[in-house]
């Protein structure tokens, strides 16, 4: 009788532990640099958000290569912590690049900006197949929005395309992904802080001496306007024209 009672007690305790774990998420960070622990500065930023922040990560889908799948999982864990700290003022989602490009309702951004942004941030990766090798493109980037303002995050900023063109360079790919995870908090915190700040830096593009004024200028203005107040400076007229 006593053994049966103890058995039921163990079952009840296990169920209670599962229910509590669903409500209380806790992860032990054993990394030397505390990679998976949100810093005090970032916690303060998230707790004092002036407006809701929405983050869209373009690492959605089930066909990601192993390295980028690992990066997506790390990003998911980090943003889940951020959402909890922000008391729900920060939300996030993962979408595929195709959904981002084609869904103009959820992502009502200029098509030229979308194309330019994805083209500039694409990471080409060669994979070994039964017939040789094939190239796939990954987009380790995120769109951070708050109200009508937005900015972008490149999770591989400063890392380049290290190792991804060589299908046999798994070690170098792993190192690149690890570096991306290590700088993730800084990149997202900087992006969020830029949207919460009332100060917007100004950038001027000087024209009037034969500088290009075609589609390249338009692409430049669309890209810079996500982070800066962008103007055209006509040197012949000495006037500023906001784009």
pLDDT, tens digit, for every residue of 159-206?
777 677 676 777 788 888 999 999 999 999 999 998 887 666 777 777
HSE (side-chain half, CA atoms, 13 Å) at 232: 18
pLDDT above 90 coverage of the chain, percent: 37
| pLDDT tens for each residue of 126-145 | 766 666 667 788 999 999 99
C-alpha to C-alpha distance for 197 and 64, rounded to whole angstroms: 35
- pLDDT reported for residue 61: 86
From first CA to last CA, the distance across the chain in angstroms is: 81
CA distance 152 to 55: 9
Q: Give the C-alpha separation, 160 to 173, whole Å.
A: 11
Contacts of 193 (CB under 8 A, 6+ apart): 45
d(CA 207, CA 204): 9
Please state whether the predicted TM-score (pTM) of the whole model is above 0.75. no
In whole angstroms, give the CA distance from residue 238 to residue 230.
16
């Amino acid at each position: 009788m006593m053994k049966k009672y103890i058995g039921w007690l163990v079952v009840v305790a296990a169920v209670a532990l599962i229910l509590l774990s669903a409500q209380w998420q806790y992860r032990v960070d054993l990394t030397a640099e505390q990679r998976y622990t949100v810093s005090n500065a970032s916690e303060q930023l998230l707790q004092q958000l002036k407006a809701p922040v929405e983050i869209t990560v373009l690492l959605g889908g089930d066909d990601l290569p192993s390295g980028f799948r690992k990066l997506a999982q790390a990003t998911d864990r980090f943003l889940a912590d951020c959402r909890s700290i922000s008391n729900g003022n920060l939300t996030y989602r993962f979408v595929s690049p195709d959904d981002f490009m084609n869904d103009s309702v959820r992502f009502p951004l200029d098509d030229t900006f979308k194309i330019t942004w994805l083209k500039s941030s694409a990471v080409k990766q060669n994979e070994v197949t039964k017939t040789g090798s094939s190239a796939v493109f990954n987009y380790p980037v995120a769109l951070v929005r708050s109200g009508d303002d937005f900015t972008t995050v490149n999770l591989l900023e400063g890392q380049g395309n290290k190792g991804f063109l060589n299908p046999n360079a798994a070690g170098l790919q792993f190192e690149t992904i690890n570096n991306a995870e290590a700088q993730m908090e800084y990149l997202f915190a900087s992006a969020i802080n830029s949207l919460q700040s009332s100060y917007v830096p100004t950038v001027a593009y000087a024209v009037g001496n034969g500088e290009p004024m075609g589609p390249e200028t338009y692409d430049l203005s669309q890209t810079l306007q996500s982070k800066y107040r962008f103007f055209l400076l006509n040197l012949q007229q000495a006037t500023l024209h906001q784009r």
